[in-house]
Chains A and B, each alone.
Chain A
Amino acid sequence: AQSVTQLGSHVSVSEGALVLLRCNYSSSVPPYLFWYVQYPNQGLQLLLKYTSAATLVKGINGFEAEFKKSETSFHLTKPSAHMSDAAEYFCAVSPSLYSSASKIIFGSGTRLSIRP
């Protein structure tokens, strides 16, 4: 079985400060990992995904995440927060991207607030 745990349901940072959203995964097979962002009353937008190529993955809007197998982590970072980054962020895991049986399992989400 696979799962992801997001540490911290709410993170608040100042504008211009570093953003760090934590995600740890559990998987019996090499995982595929994702970060999604959800703005209020909207669907999900893919920020980035890890597919076993480079361990440092760059996404949209200046976000990146690093896959660390030894720590079973896939934390999301952005060097400098912008007010428009305020949203809900979801870490997710899937056992495969090549199987019709693959399903994406979501973490509980982290709400990111940006202080002026």
Chain B
Amino acid sequence: GAVVSQHPSRVICKSGTSVKIECRSLDFQATTMFWYRQFPKKSLMLMATSNEGSKATYEQGVEKDKFLINHASLTLSTLTVTSAHPEDSSFYICSAREWEGGEETQYFGPGTRLLVL
């Protein structure tokens, strides 16, 4: 299957700083990527849909000014957590959509664990 990478895999930052997380599709082009957040022992919550060359679509309750998404190329989407606070600590997972034979498959990255002190 296709491969999606995330960088960094783990990041610790001070409260008030901003953190950028990268999501890359390594062997396919993805016009659409998705960002999820997962709390400990909980399910994945879709935060936003990232569309190449246009603005991201945020789910209800997700602050777009807090979680900045940029999808500048067909293989890269970034999530920036601005002015991070301890409550932003979480496991962030991205996925990239691949179209093949008119059908889509989503491939997930390995996740980024963010700890805000």
Contacts and interface: CB of A to CB of B under 8 A. Distances in A.
Interface of B is mostly: strand
B32 A105 contact: no
Contacts of A80: none
A45 interface: yes
Contacts of B106: 46, 104
Interface residues of A, number: 22
Nearest to A36: B108
B102 interface: yes
B46 A44 contact: no
Given A90-B44, A103-B46, A107-B43, A97 B111 contact: no
B90 to A, nearest CB: 13
A28 interface: no
Nearest to A103: B46
Given A41-B111, A43-B111, A44-B93, A109 B46 contact: no
Interface string B41-63: 11110100100000000000000
Given A43-B109, A46-B1, A90 B93 contact: no
A97 B104 contact: yes
B105 interface: yes
